Chain A
Amino acid sequence: MNRMKLILLQLAVGIAFLLLWHVLTAYPILAPTRQTQFFFSTPLDVLARVWKEFASGEIWRHLGITLLETILAFAFGAGGGILFGFLFARRALLAAVFDPYIKAANALPRVVLAPIFALWFGLGIWSKVALGFTLVFFIVFFNVYQGVREVSPVVLANARMLGMNERQLLRHVYWPAALTWMFSSLHTSVGFALVGAVVGEYLGSSAGLGYKIHEAESVFDVTGVFAGMAILSIFVILIDAVVTFIERRLLVWHPSPSTNGQG
């Protein structure tokens, strides 16, 4: 009952927004319709464009490329983040020596790296993967680093009293603790992998959702831009649902996996 009510309210907000958009662009209330439609398009036009994109099958190729870039950026970023997070957490000297450099690298706005990556890796998917990597890596790195260092001292002491050696501690205590923290940042890091891919495409590419949006924008095709954004939103919601599903499966032991770190 409560859930029904919530869904109805959520739908109501969406419909109200679309209605407002429709009314303001279909009738000359704020400005002549030609003008408002140039700047804001109309919900029906956008819907028609989205439909057309899917109907013609043109969009699938772009979606596929963006998805591939996102997955690769996430895989490499998470892998590197886990590896280095682990290493630094277990080797205090290494962490201390590299600390200022890691902070400096993390402080850098990643967008400025996009042209460099385009230069190094070309305009294909790898420059986008590299951009996504730099975003995902630091999120996972910091989470895993924190996670391994903050393993409950009692759990650790208990495991040692059970006679576990370094290798067994790694396997039964440190590794699961690190993975927990990685999963708790899963939504954020997958989101950033996608951001890296789309921004990279936007700044220079020949395929992908970012490219589609950029292409429409360069000819002042506002309908095309909004259609691209709508498709991107649907795409993000679907990916997020998949991530939530994976998280529920992997963090089955966790008291409340779904409320964790949705930053």
Chain B
Amino acid sequence: MLAPPIAPAVLLRNIAITFGAKEAGYTAVKSIDLAAKPGEFIAIVGPTGCGKSTLLNASAGLLKPSEGHVEIFGTPLSGLNGRAGYLFQQDALMPWKTALQNVSVALEPKGVGPAEARDRARDWLRRVGLSAFVDRYPHMLSGGQRKRVALAQMLIRDPEILLMDEPFGPLDAQTRQIMGNLLLDLWAANRKAVLFVTHDLEEAIALADRVVVMSAGPAARIIGEFPVTLPRPRDIAEVRLDPSFHQIYKEIWASLRAEVQKAYAQEEGAAP
């Protein structure tokens, strides 16, 4: 008996994204093919400026690819991707709303009443460990706490796809580990397809089921996909000590190193 084929949560088919005029424009990515199964955690790594975020924006519908097309659960994407949540690298909370208001407002487009939205937001802030900070405004919170609020704001809508653009980039090393573990716990409880962009290879391996490596831009391509078979549940700090972690790291770094050097050389060359 054949099970019906499951459509990928996100399918990028032959994507190219060019900024500016067709001829003179800058092509960020080219010939990208990527499929994320439902419940699969994919980390995308690559040198700076390789267009990793561009791919997320295309999957979110914030950016229309110049070539190719995006499918979400088998349906071609047009307009914004309503089934995805997006965690931005920069602060994206509304600064004029408290933590609680920022999270509860995410339920308003779903038609949830204000009282219920508040209750559920309170529960989510508890889950990300911010019970004591519900009435704080973003500027009164630390960088890590703001990310927790943003995480709760994204997850409360229960999106089927999570798009994350170097979400823990601005945080210090310890906070990153704590946030990584929090993310893994929340994800393990309710598995969604994840596209997680990072420039930190260790973070990518510690979190993901599969690491996708991109080449240096312009016209960046996918140059390798590496499954990560480390057992779950994982602890971000401890998994790094696992011998097979090193094995995977070496393998991926071998293909990534040349690209990082290429990107670095380009930046050097471009500098006046």
Contact = CB atoms under 8 A, between A and B. Distances in A.
A163 B92 contact: no
A254 B137 CA distance: 8
B85 interface: yes
B109 A155 contact: no
A101 interface: no
Contact of B86 (A158, A176, A252): A158
A160 B61 CA distance: 10
Interface in A223-263: 252-255
B96 A157 contact: no
Interface string A173-202: 100110010000000000000000000000
Contacts of B138: 253
Interface string B88-107: 10111111111000000110
B90 A168 contact: no
Contacts of A155: 92-95
Contacts of B106: 162-163
Contacts of B80: 160-161, 163
A253 B98 contact: yes
A123 interface: no
B257 interface: no
B102 to A, nearest CB: 10
Interface string B38-67: 000000000000000000000010100000
A172 interface: yes
A253 B92 contact: no
Given A154-B88, A253-B98, A161 B60 contact: yes
Nearest to B150: A158
A165 interface: yes
Nearest to A165: B109
Interface residues of B, number: 28
Nearest to A176: B96
A163 B109 contact: yes
A173 B110 contact: no
Nearest to A250: B96
A152 B139 CA distance: 15
Contacts of A254: 95, 139
Interface string A118-160: 0000000000000000000000000000000000101101111
B62 to A, nearest CB: 6
A162 B157 contact: yes
A157 B60 CA distance: 10
A173 B92 contact: no
Given A157-B92, A158-B88, A253 B97 contact: yes
A164 B111 CA distance: 11
B88 A164 contact: no
Interface string B62-91: 100000000000000000101011101011
Contact of A172 (B62, B84, B105, B153): B105
B119 interface: no
A157 B91 contact: no
Nearest to A253: B137
Interface of A: 152, 154-155, 157-165, 168, 172-173, 176-177, 180, 252-255
